[in-house]
Amino acid sequence: MTTPLNVLGICGSLRQASYNAAALRVAQALAPDAGMRITIADIADLPLYNEDLRTEGFPATVERFREQIRAADALLFVTPEYNYSIPGVLKNAIDWASRPPEQPFAGKPAAIMGASPGAIGTARAQYHLRQVLVFLDVHPLNKPEVMIGAAHERFDAQGQLIHEPTREFIGKMLAALAAWTRQLARA
């Protein structure tokens, strides 16, 4: 039996009733079937990026986040779409973690998914995120793209996913991420 992959889930919404956090919890529950374990990063306590703070030394919350990224076999970004892009909290977390020395994203496999009440399920935000990941030398999974539209109809008031095809799709994406991660590790 192979060791489960250690995947770090990074959610771009801090909202209690977040659809994206709910989607990440679904992925977390499905992860063992794909041979992985998903830990969810806590980015709520990161300060706003300030170069003066960094030069004094990374804040402890940032250090912890950077360590989690470093230790992960793969990353799973789950992002809302804000004004056709990624939310500031996610960009802030990425910006903090990306700073030298030894930025921890380089070479990591990653998958992206997102949920929105809108029709196209964070597609624009996901493509902005892919652009950011290019600079960080992350290796994003191309397909399947998990863009959960009409999220208010797919999750109930308790944040439970009530749309089985979406659950199956998330499971397929996790299986593809596991294969991609093992493929890159062999390369």
Which residues contribute to the site for ligand FMN (CB under 6 A)? Answer: 13, 15, 18-20, 80-84, 116-118
For ligand FMN, give the closer residue by CB, 68 or 116.
Answer: 116
Distance (Å, whole) CA 162 – CA 25: 13
CA angle 170, 94, 9 (to 5 degrees): 30
For ligand FMN, give the closer residue by CB, 170 or 178.
Answer: 170
CB 8 within 8 A of CB 64: no
Residues paired with residue 10 on neighbouring β-strands, in sequence order: 77
For ligand FMN, give the closer residue by CB, 73 or 81.
Answer: 81
CB 114 within 8 A of CB 20: yes
For the CB of residue 101, give the shortest distance to ligand FMN in the complex, in Å.
33
For the CB of residue 118, give the shortest distance to ligand FMN in the complex, in Å.
3
Residue nearest to ligand FMN (CB): 118
Which amino acid is it at 129? L
CB 148 within 8 A of CB 121: yes
The helix (H) or strand (E) run that includes residue 175 is helix 164-186
For the CB of residue 55, give the shortest distance to ligand FMN in the complex, in Å.
31
For the CB of residue 151, give the shortest distance to ligand FMN in the complex, in Å.
6
For ligand FMN, give the closer residue by CB, 84 or 135.
Answer: 84
Q: Which two tokens stand for residue 93?
A: 């977390």
For the CB of residue 182, give the shortest distance to ligand FMN in the complex, in Å.
30
The alpha carbon of 27 is separated from its chain's Cα centroid by a whole number of angstroms, namely 11
φ, ψ (nearest 5 deg) of residue 82: -120, 120
For ligand FMN, give the closer residue by CB, 66 or 91.
Answer: 91
